Structure 1
Amino acid sequence: MERENSLRERLIDVGVDLVMTEGAASLGLREIARRAGVSHGAPRRYFPTHHSLLSAIARRGFADLGARFDAATGGAASPRCQLQALARTYLRYALEHRGMFELMFRHDLLDSETHAADTPRLRDSTLPLFAHIVELVTRDRAESAEAGSGTPHGPARQPAVTAVALWTNLHGIAQLWGWGSLQLVLDTSSPDAAPGEGPLGPSGQLDRLVVAVLDAHLCPVTP
């Protein structure tokens, strides 16, 4: 049993390495088996379908992103600062790990009911991350109300609805930036960031978009 678990994890490890270095298109079942040093039929003993193996690889991505969220928000004092740190981390992950990010949010994997019997569905891996956003939105509202510093923009919405809108905005920014669309409309040829700072630096285009998203969906920040 221990040997089987070790081989199962090795197949996932190989898949993670492949998607990180060569992109999601490299994740053929035969190639994963070859690099793991097993026959091309061996993965079927641990993963009933190709999708179930891809889902296991993508779950590693969600675990990694969750750990990065914890590290990024651990030192932030207020919920707003934590949300800003979370948003930056989300976009940085999308920019730096395009292959894994693409795999994690593939609709056919998130919506698939075919998975190993002893593992949860991939879409369940998004729930802790989403719950974290909802919690921070709720706390931000409570602190703003207590301080009398403002109310949410527009009609009052459930924190979960606001969290969905915020997440949707961030995901859209990540996708559009990855496709090069935002660079066109924002004219990123303009010198808006310090040398070597990058788009997520304090004066970069993406960081300004993060601030705009938070301002649009949360209580306005008053001086």
Structure 2
Amino acid sequence: MESEGSLRERLIDVGVDIVMTDGPDSLGLREIARRAGVSHGAPRRYFPTHHALLSAIARRGFADLASRFEAAAEEDASPRDRVRALARTYLRYALEHRGMFELMFRHDLLDGKAQPSDLPPLRESTLPLFAHMVELVSRHTAERTAAGPATPAAVIAAALWTNLHGVAQLWAWGSLPLALGAAGQGAPEGADPLDRLLGAVLDAHLGPVNG
């Protein structure tokens, strides 16, 4: 007999599979229950609201992204190179897993008002990722100037994250490829179309490599 814990995890597993293959609009309770092979009322035993189940699925997305950040990290690389690897991972995740990325940053889930009170707000899942970015930015700026940056590392990291998130959204919507193509500034043939853009983002927030 399947335990309550394993059934709860199976419901989340099914939800993750649905959002990855069909997108967040397909995450209805009945559809999740159907694919999990349980009655349509079964999810309510483990998730009091639809939002609670969606939040649990989105937490898996943040855990997946965190593991990808860890895998992309090279301990011997410079802080700037590690920021670049983190930023590239963020953009690639956003573009390759658009459904999950959209779910992870849904405002109605992030504010936590519709989820069980015994769980921390989903928004707190972003804090370890942001803290890692702040640490790397702090180390990078410390290497660039002995006097330290005029702007706190947390503010620089927040601006960088904002820029990356905007790039991810505008690229997914097709606006940035269209604008860059119209301006004749697309990447050279065979090059990663995001690399030049990512380099400009890092230069804007961390300073040029030889600056």
Does residue 175 of the first structure (1) align with residue 169 of the second (2)? Answer: yes
Q: Is the 8 A contact 1:24 1:102 kept in 2?
A: yes
**CA 1:138–1:190 in 2, change beyond 3 Å: closer, same or farther?**
closer
Aligned match of 2:29: 29
Partners of 1:219 and 1:211 lie apart in 2 by 10
Q: Is the 8 A contact 1:141 1:219 kept in 2?
A: no
Q: Is the 8 A contact 2:177 2:186 kept in 1?
A: no
Partners of 2:45 and 2:76 lie apart in 1 by 45
Does residue 74 of the first structure (1) align with residue 70 of the second (2)? Answer: no
Opposite residue 160 of structure 1, the aligned amino acid is: A
Aligned match of 2:62: 62
Mark the runs of 5 or more structure 2 residues left unpaired by the alignment.
none
Partners of 1:27 and 1:163 lie apart in 2 by 33
Aligned match of 1:163: 157
For residue 187 of structure 1, give the secondary structure of its aligned residue in structure 2: helix
Partners of 1:49 and 1:20 lie apart in 2 by 21
Partners of 2:204 and 2:189 lie apart in 1 by 26
Between 113-122 and 3-12, report the one with greater CA deviation: 113-122
How far does residue 207 in structure 1 lie from its aligned partner after superposition?
Answer: 1.0
Partners of 2:100 and 2:106 lie apart in 1 by 10
Aligned match of 1:90: 90
User: Structure 2 length normalisation: TM-score?
Assistant: 0.92
Partners of 1:55 and 1:171 lie apart in 2 by 20
Partners of 1:105 and 1:56 lie apart in 2 by 13
Partners of 1:95 and 1:52 lie apart in 2 by 25
Does residue 102 of the first structure (1) align with residue 102 of the second (2)? Answer: yes
Superposition CA RMSD, Å: 2.1
Aligned match of 2:49: 49
Opposite residue 88 of structure 2, the aligned amino acid is: R
1:37-95 C-alpha deviation (Å, 9 max, x unpaired): 11111111111110010000000000000000011113551100000000100000011
Partners of 2:59 and 2:98 lie apart in 1 by 15
1:139-176 C-alpha deviation (Å, 9 max, x unpaired): 00111125x9xx75xxx211111111000000000000
Aligned match of 1:192: 187
User: Structure 1 length normalisation: TM-score?
Assistant: 0.88
1:171-208 C-alpha deviation (Å, 9 max, x unpaired): 0000000000001110088773444xxxxxxx333111
Opposite residue 192 of structure 1, the aligned amino acid is: A
Opposite residue 176 of structure 1, the aligned amino acid is: L
**CA 1:13–1:51 in 2, change beyond 3 Å: closer, same or farther?**
same
Aligned match of 1:130: 130
Identity of aligned residues (%): 70
The number of residues matched between the two structures is: 210
Q: Is the 8 A contact 1:59 1:104 kept in 2?
A: yes
For residue 186 of structure 1, give the secondary structure of its aligned residue in structure 2: helix
For residue 145 of structure 2, give the secondary structure of its aligned residue in structure 1: helix
**CA 1:170–1:76 in 2, change beyond 3 Å: closer, same or farther?**
farther
